[in-house]
A = this chain, B = another copy of it.
């Protein structure tokens, strides 16, 4: 085996990732999609100076010095309701009754809240609290100005983004198409989940955990069904996958023989190039990366735990890069309860469980040996031991990356 690439090197040798094509969809249907072109605000928000309280629109300077003991008297000259265009201007010594959300009248710069105002026979009001200019008013363009970038290219669309798009009248949005990711599970020992495995057989899990992970990061999985460890069949399937998908994942057999077969097939593809035959990550070392023209093929290990970790650390960032996006991992700090050692020279990911103890999070490392995906259910996230570290001592504060 050649020298292992580190995880960072592995990402680098992928080279420039080709961006997905774009499509225009309804903004209201864009949750969790990725913006394909900077979205510019077409207008100021708020679109007008807006009252933020029910009360009286006034000039703040008219209220200076007002107090419970020395209220200031102003002339009430009208009322503005929501949706109404103010006709009158507030002049010195005047006030207009106003509702939250209504357009501020000309001349007024602040709103005195109802509770600080006494009405003295319809025409006069008494103000019992001084205002600062701008108080209880949202200024036109305060949140965003016309022409400003609202959502940058590559941004993942969230609930509030959809709300804001609606508020700005942006009903269509250009997003990246979802990358189609082919999944090819290989291995003579694999059977479908609905089948009862005979001795030595094992049900295919990687197809389904990979499909869910692909969906979760914005891609569209295409499952190709279990392929036996056979050169011709595997090659044909990969070629078919390359013609249908933007990326191909082969979840390999876990034996050396299966690894060698996957490597051989990946190396034989027309216009293909093997980029690395192993990655310095644990678990996940026997990961093969190749490129056929601009499409990336990952030969993943068969071990379902390795598959999940390699997906998370290498495949997912690649899928996101196809949509100009970056992952924001959710990290929490916790105190490690047991020393963990590592001497592999590889970046190692330890499954940890988090518990609250004395108002503090503690991280409990789980059994590392297990290759079973169930161990990922018991874990709350992953603890990374850097490549050249020999481990992390008990009692240290560590960063734990939570599952999505």
Contact = CB atoms under 8 A, between A and B. Distances in A.
Contacts of A339: none
Nearest to A172: B194
Q: Rank and list the top 9 A-B pairs by shortest CB-CB distance, nearest first.
A: A163-B209, A159-B212, A143-B372, A143-B374, A160-B376, A99-B255, A167-B205, A163-B205, A166-B193
Contacts of A161: 377
Contacts of A202: 47, 101, 167
A46 interface: yes
A376 B157 CA distance: 12
Interface string A185-212: 0011100011111011111111111111
A369 interface: yes
A388 interface: no
Contact of A374 (B27, B144, B203, B403): B144
The quantity of this chain's copies bound in the complex is 2
Contacts of A171: 193-194
A88 B194 CA distance: 30
30 contacts: A28-B211, A31-B212, A31-B215, A41-B374, A46-B371, A46-B372, A50-B371, A52-B369, A54-B255, A54-B256, A82-B258, A83-B189, A85-B199, A101-B254, A142-B367, A150-B374, A151-B377, A159-B213, A160-B209, A160-B373, A162-B209, A162-B212, A163-B209, A163-B308, A164-B209, A164-B373, A167-B373, A169-B193, A169-B194, A332-B332
Contacts of A25: none
Contacts of A196: 169
A153 to B, nearest CB: 15
A167 to B, nearest CB: 4
A200 B85 contact: yes
Given A31-B212, A159-B308, 17 more contacts: A27-B193, A47-B202, A82-B188, A99-B255, A102-B200, A144-B372, A158-B404, A160-B209, A160-B373, A164-B209, A164-B376, A165-B208, A166-B203, A166-B209, A169-B193, A171-B193, A330-B402
Contacts of A165: 193, 208
Interface in A129-179: 136, 138, 142-144, 150-151, 158-171
